[in-house]
A and B are shown apart, each in its own frame.
Chain A
Amino acid sequence: MPLLACQIAPPPGLDHTHGFGNRAHGRKIAIQQSNQQNQDAPLLEVQGLTVFRGERLIFRNIGFVLPAGGALMVVGPNGAGKSTLLRVLAGLLRPVAGRFLWQGRDALTDPVQHARRVAYLGHADGVKPTLTAAENLRFFARIGKGSVEAALAAVGLAALRDLPARLLSAGQRRRLALARLVLSSAPLWLLDEPTLGLDQTAIALLGGLIAAHRAQGGAIIAATHLPLPLASAATLGL
């Protein structure tokens, strides 16, 4: 595989083209600034990332730079390693070579610290069938310091808040997983096939949430096969 390097376009700024953008109710994104680090360093810089799973090489020498407010679409055929890349960036999987820098400093020196910087939406929704929609979010509201009601409203599930999640449809469960992103104060969203099972309305909602997140200086990396409502996103082919 060739060396991949791409420079992400600057953030679109306050983008009002997405009608739902301002429903993200004034969350504060916790981008930490410390005196020791370079203020000019990009939010995320990936250098020469190489990942094996078992004996198999998934990808090698992946590199890109993601500024605050940036968006990156990871595309590629099935099995190309899109999900693996997201799990590496979340800190769930260790790369065999290469590193990634958060604001100029190695992100994995403190994995617990790094976990607070990312909100990860995996293939599985992580929704508990026996808890209601609101109860599913309560834990994430407490660690992210958001409001359950506002998050449910943001994904259009306010009317279903007391319904056990096992009665929700696949798309509604995906919306519930998206509500977790709304509750998170993490600056980097890692989205693995975020539109899985979503209808057109929900995809538009997602576009609005993403635009609002980027306008506040957050960044997005999304692995997808389908076009996402992302303004000025760079593309990384695996």
Chain B
Amino acid sequence: MIALAMLARETQLSFRHGADTLAAVLFFLLTGALFPLALGPSPEMLARFAPGIVWVAALLAALLPLDRLFGADFEDGSLDQLLLSGLPASGVALVKAAAHWLVTGLPLLVAAGPEAIMLRMPSDLLATLLAGLLIGTLALSLLGTAGAAIVLGARRGGVLLPLLVLPLATPILIFGAGAVEAGAAGLSPQPHLLLLGAILALALPLCPIAAGAALRAACE
């Protein structure tokens, strides 16, 4: 109940700051558009690299809004109110992660299809790519929330954040891109997707707990 009320508030705030979501999606599309310029427009090569490009661009774009995830609440005193709202600190972090996915992960997922087609990825692999991205962006939102909570209050936290989150996100990238590679090679992508699911299952309890502890420490 409290969690739903907080999720409603967070998404309402994000809609007011709609430019943040738009910036992440445009960043995602533009990064993807740079690769044909750098690698050359050969359709075979682009099709070969497309899954990796989409995954790397999505990973970087998902990081963009993270440094403000708790920053504004921390500075204007809202974070104290959230921590005293009757939700445990880990619950506050979980709602923040859900809000991040709704306003960043989900739009990226929608934009990933057009971007993959733009890069001439075979359309029969699209479902595998999106299935991987669905699990991957959820896990990224959880990891990113934990990272954002940990760097909260640190000077230059925005620079520290990618250094903290990107190494932890490498398994997501490897299995996500691997699923599409396997599909392209005529193998089943299922093992890769299951491993992605295992990462999500691990992140779902651990990341909110870590983020909650970090939030409590930041508010001391």
Interface residues of A (CB under 8 A from B): 53, 90-94, 111-112, 115-116, 118-120, 122-131, 135, 138-140, 142-143, 180
A112 touches B5 (CB 8 A): no
- Determine how close the nearest CB of chain A comes to the CB of B36; give it in whole angstroms: 38
Q: Is the interface of B mostly helix, strand, loop or mixed?
A: helix
Most buried by B among A125, A128, A135: A128
In the complex, chain A residues whose CB is within 8 Å of the CB of B8: 139
| Cα–Cα distance between A129 and B219 once the two chains are bound (Å) | 21
A118 CA / B13 CA spacing, docked (Å): 25
Which residues of chain A come closer than 8 Å to B83, judged between CB atoms?
92, 115
- Which residues from chain A contact B87 at a C-beta distance below 8 Å? 112
B16–A130 CB distance below 8 A? yes
Q: How far is the CB of B211 from chain A (nearest CB, A)?
A: 16
A119 CB contacts on chain B under 8 angstroms: 84
Closest to B6 in A: A139
Given that A130-B16, A131-B16, A138-B9 are contacting pairs, would A143 and B80 also be in contact in the complex, using a CB cutoff of 8 Å? no
Residues of B within 8 A of A90 (CB): 80, 84
> Which chain A residues border B16 with CB–CB below 8 Å?
130-131
Q: Which 8 A-B pairs have the closest CB atoms?
A: A124-B77, A126-B77, A130-B16, A142-B5, A139-B9, A115-B84, A126-B78, A116-B86
Instruction: List residues of B whose CB falls within 8 A of some A CB.
Output: 1-2, 5-6, 8-9, 12-13, 16-17, 75-78, 80-81, 83-88, 216, 219-220
> Does B78 contact A128, Cβ atoms closer than 8 Å?
yes
Q: How far apart are the CA atoms of A143 and B220 in the complex, in Å?
A: 24
Contact at B85–A115, with CB atoms within 8 Å? yes
The smallest beta-carbon distance between A145 and chain B, in angstroms, is: 10
Given A143-B2, A143-B5, A143-B86, are A120 and B13 also a contact pair (CB < 8 Å)? no
Q: Among A93, A112, A124, point to the contact of B88 (Cβ < 8 A).
A: A112
Q: Which of A53, A139, A142 has the most CB of B within 10 A?
A: A139
Residues of the B chain whose Cβ atoms lie less than 8 Å from the Cβ of A92: 80, 83-84, 216, 219-220
Instruction: Specify the chain A residue showing the minimal Cβ separation from B72.
Output: A128
With A116-B86, A127-B76 known as contacts, the answer to whether A180 contacts B13 (CB < 8 A) is no
Neighbour of B13 across the interface among A124, A127, A128, A140, CB < 8 A: A128
User: Which residues of chain B come closer than 8 Å to A116, judged between CB atoms?
Assistant: 86
How far apart sit A112 and B17, CA to CA, in the bound complex (Å)?
Answer: 30
Tell me the complex Cα distance, A135–B1, Å. 18
Most buried by A among B75, B81, B83, B85: B81
| Cβ–Cβ contact B9 & A112, under 8 A | no
Task: Tell me whether B78 and A118 are in contact (CB under 8 A).
Answer: no
Closest residue of chain A to B75, judged by CB? Answer: A124
**15 pairs from A and B in contact (CB 8 Å cutoff):** A92-B83, A92-B84, A92-B216, A92-B220, A112-B86, A112-B87, A115-B84, A119-B84, A124-B75, A124-B77, A126-B77, A128-B76, A129-B76, A130-B13, A131-B12
What is the CA–CA distance of A116 and B86 in the complex, to the nearest angstrom?
Answer: 5
